[in-house]
Structure 1
Amino acid sequence: MQYVIRQFTPDDTEAVVALWEACGLVRPWNDPRKDIARKLSVQPELFLVATDPEGADRLVAAGMAGFDGHRGWVNYLAVQPDLQGSGLGRTFMAEFERLLADMGCPKLNLQVRAGNEQVIGFYEALGYADDHTVSMGKRLIPDA
């Protein structure tokens, strides 16, 4: 199957939110539509989606990347559950790595929720390793 990876467009919003929900990425404290709007204001070229040209352009994967001048990040990488294991996630990560390296990004970071062993295994197979750091956060703008 040849998927088409392209930049996100606003018309993709509802399909992306549905994909994130199907993959268990949405949390009550993060409004996915607000997260999409925020991403479109900063490096929108690093918000990618994949469609299945044989399935009426069904959106099958999506992910966001960013580079702050020090580190790159990948967020909200999701592949339709029935296509997980197909290589599409690996293809997305390779594209993000290429785009970020082209921007001069020296290191790529990502976060995986503790206990999500399947996803941790996926990233380990791609050469990612636990940095032995603690991720901390503070909400500056509540979404609720």
Structure 2
Amino acid sequence: MQWIIRAFQDSDTEPVVALWHEAGLTRPWNDPYLDIARKRTVQPELFLVAAPATPEGPGGATVIGTVMAGYDGHRGWLYYLATAESARGRGVARSLVQEAERLLEAMGCPKVQLMVREGNEAVLGFYDALGYERFTVANTGKRLVADV
């Protein structure tokens, strides 16, 4: 399978939400549609999808991977990295991370970080293989807008 990586388009909304559900990334307190809408207003070029390359051209309605990145002037962050079950183990996620890193570095971003839910050793191993280092921190957060 060949794929292309491109910026998210409005027509990707339903396939992306379906992929996030399939990958177990959604949570009841985060409306994925609102997360997409919010990202479309801030650095939308850092919301990437992987789509199969087809004989008639790249892309199409199928989305086989996503990553959402952001840069706040201090460091970059990665969110919503997902690969469709049917495309796992082929390098899609690695390609998405590398493209997000390339875009962040082009913006002057010196460091990128991400959060992995506790106990998700397979995902931690994936990031280990990409050269990410683990460190111990306490994450805190405060919801400013309730999605549900």
TM-score by length of 2: 0.93
Moved more, 35-44 or 47-56: 47-56
Could you tell me which amino acid in structure 1 is paired with residue 86 of structure 2? D
Residue 44 (structure 1) aligned with residue 57 (structure 2)? no
How many pairs were matched up? 144
Aligned-partner SS, 2:14: helix
Following superposition, the deviation at residue 54 of structure 1 comes to: 3.9
Aligned-partner SS, 1:50: strand
C-alpha separation in 1, matches of 2:53 and 2:100? 21
Residue 90 (structure 1) aligned with residue 91 (structure 2)? no
Following superposition, the deviation at residue 82 of structure 1 comes to: 2.1
C-alpha separation in 2, matches of 1:96 and 1:53? 19
C-alpha separation in 2, matches of 1:136 and 1:124? 24
TM-score by length of 1: 0.96
Following superposition, the deviation at residue 2 of structure 1 comes to: 1.9
Moved more, 80-89 or 103-112: 80-89
Following superposition, the deviation at residue 84 of structure 1 comes to: 1.6
Could you tell me which amino acid in structure 2 is paired with residue 3 of structure 1? W
* Gapped regions of structure 1 (runs ≥ 5): none
1:88-127 per-residue CA deviation (whole Å, 9 max, x = no partner) reads: 1111111111110110001000011101111111001101
Counterpart of 1:126 in structure 2 is 130
Matches within 5 A, 1:23-102: 23-54=23-54, 57=60, 58-102=62-106
Aligned-partner SS, 1:53: strand
Q: CA RMSD in A?
A: 1.3
C-alpha separation in 2, matches of 1:101 and 1:54? 30
C-alpha separation in 2, matches of 1:85 and 1:2? 13
C-alpha separation in 2, matches of 1:88 and 1:77? 10
**Structure 1 outlier segments of 4+, above 2 Å:** 53-57
C-alpha separation in 2, matches of 1:36 and 1:19? 13
Residue 137 (structure 1) aligned with residue 118 (structure 2)? no
1:36-56 per-residue CA deviation (whole Å, 9 max, x = no partner) reads: 000001000000111113498
C-alpha separation in 1, matches of 2:138 and 2:75? 16
1:9-62 per-residue CA deviation (whole Å, 9 max, x = no partner) reads: 111101000000000000000000000000001000000111113498321011
* Gapped regions of structure 2 (runs ≥ 5): none
